[in-house]
Amino acid sequence: MASETVLITGASGFVATHIVDSFLRAGYNVRGTVRSKQTANKVRGTFPEYKDKLSFAIVPDVSSAKAFDEVIQGVTGVIHTATPFQLIVKDKERDLLRPAIEGTINLLRSIKRNASLVRRVVHTSSFADMLDMSKGDRPGYIYTEADWNPMTYAQATDINTPDIAAYCAAKTLAEYAAWEFMATENPPFDLVTICPPCVFGPVKNATASLSNLNTSSMEIYRLMAPASQPSHDMPPTLVPAWVDVRDVAEAHLKAFEVPGAGGQRFLVAQGNFNSQQIADILRDRVAEVRDRVPLGKPRSGLGDIFGCDASKSEKVLGLRYRPLEEAVVDAARSFLKLEQVNQCCATL
């Protein structure tokens, strides 16, 4: 394993940084793609103990046809996390769909052309690829790997389609395209896709700040931010399903290592949640923010909503999921550290 190198695209992201950590701790050499030298230096500083096992390649535009031709040389596996994530865009096709789909297919084509050592590609997909947003809370329904988001390309680009729905469609169509590539091109490597819902847990990426937290992390921080007012109503829950970021990282590592994972897609989820549950945990377990957190209706429960069956990931990948309380508390502690950084910068 010491001689194996894996490529991790989009290595500076919230989830990707934890994936980098998992592979480094498992003994792999990691080559990460980032958009600039400045970002590479920030990520490198996150892992000082692995300076001899972590390297970077600058890929400014993942949708460029030959963006990955050089960076995949000599790697035995590729973990593809890079994808555009914007909830407000000017052009859905230009800003969401084409980059997601073309970035994924360009990578797979590059691997087939240039990287004979690659035996597996693990693609970070999303629960958005499974969720049918038109069905709402869908009481009693259980989502599994058999489900697919039904939104089409034409629907996604429609002017009346919300940007969040277009983003979900972009993730779905990128995964569709990846599986279609595997079926039609018959490359010498296999494919695994990982589909997590809202991802909670500690922020580890050096590029993070309180002003640009990823959307899932903001689900927690908006309830404890200094501007929060306990008397305000509880905000709505974005998507009421979640998983810990450290378990998502472990899922990618196991997806690469476990022989039987090849050719499979995995729903990676701990269960359901709502904003009230997060608020209850913050008030109970993080004393520093207790007075900031909205009270809402404590212990009022989840209501009747859909469920997620992640048993396949437990059986095939051997995952054991962390509880919500651990993820929320560890996330909150990491946000408090970022607040301290902000305060220090403000006094300079």
pLDDT digits (tens, 9 = 90+) for 231-274: 567 888 989 999 999 999 999 999 999 999 999 999 999 999 99
Of 17, 15, 18, 333, nearest in space to 199 by CA: 15
Across 189-209, average pLDDT: 94
3-state secondary structure of 251: helix
Strand-pair partners of 6:
30, 77
Q: Is 211 exposed, middle or buried (0-12, 13-18, 19+ CB in 10 A)?
A: exposed
Across 60-84, average pLDDT: 86
Instruction: Let me know: does 336 contact 347? Beta carbons within 8 Å.
Output: no
φ/ψ of 275, rounded to 5, equals -60, -35
Across 282-299, average pLDDT: 94
Q: Is the pLDDT of residue 164 over 80?
A: yes
Q: Hey, CA dihedral for 105, 111, 112, 118, is it positive or negative?
A: negative
| % of the chain residues with pLDDT over 70 | 94
Per-residue pLDDT at 137? 93
Q: Which residue has the higher pLDDT, 302 or 22?
A: 22
| 73, HSE (Cβ side, Cα atoms, 13 Å) | 6
Across 3-28, average pLDDT: 95
Per-residue pLDDT at 348? 44
Across 59-68, average pLDDT: 82
- Residue pLDDT, tens place only, 329-340: 999 999 999 998
Instruction: Let me know: does 334 contact 289? Beta carbons within 8 Å.
Output: no
Instruction: Let me know: does 69 contact 114? Beta carbons within 8 Å.
Output: yes
- Residue pLDDT, tens place only, 311-329: 999 999 999 999 999 999 9
| % of the chain residues with pLDDT over 90 | 76
From the list 92, 171, 204, 254, the catalytic residue is 171
Q: Is the pLDDT of residue 8 over 60?
A: yes
| 87: DSSP letter | S
Distances in Å between the Cα of 291 and the Cα atoms of 200, 230, 231, 301, 311 are 22, 7, 10, 22, 38
Instruction: Let me know: does 107 contact 9? Beta carbons within 8 Å.
Output: yes
φ/ψ of 334, rounded to 5, equals -70, -35
Q: Is the pLDDT of residue 87 over 70?
A: no
Look over the chain and give the mean of its residue pLDDT values, rounded to a whole number.
92
* Residue 51 appears among annotated catalytic residues: no
Q: Residue 281 corresponds to which amino acid?
A: I
- Residue pLDDT, tens place only, 177-195: 999 999 999 999 999 999 9
Residue 64: pLDDT band by 50, 70, 90 thresholds?
Answer: confident
| Assigned CATH class of 5-209+243-269+307-323 | alpha beta
Per-residue pLDDT at 114? 87
- How far apart are the C-alpha atoms of 327 and 135, rounded to whole Å? 28
φ/ψ of 185, rounded to 5, equals -95, -20
- How far apart are the C-alpha atoms of 307 and 131, rounded to whole Å? 11
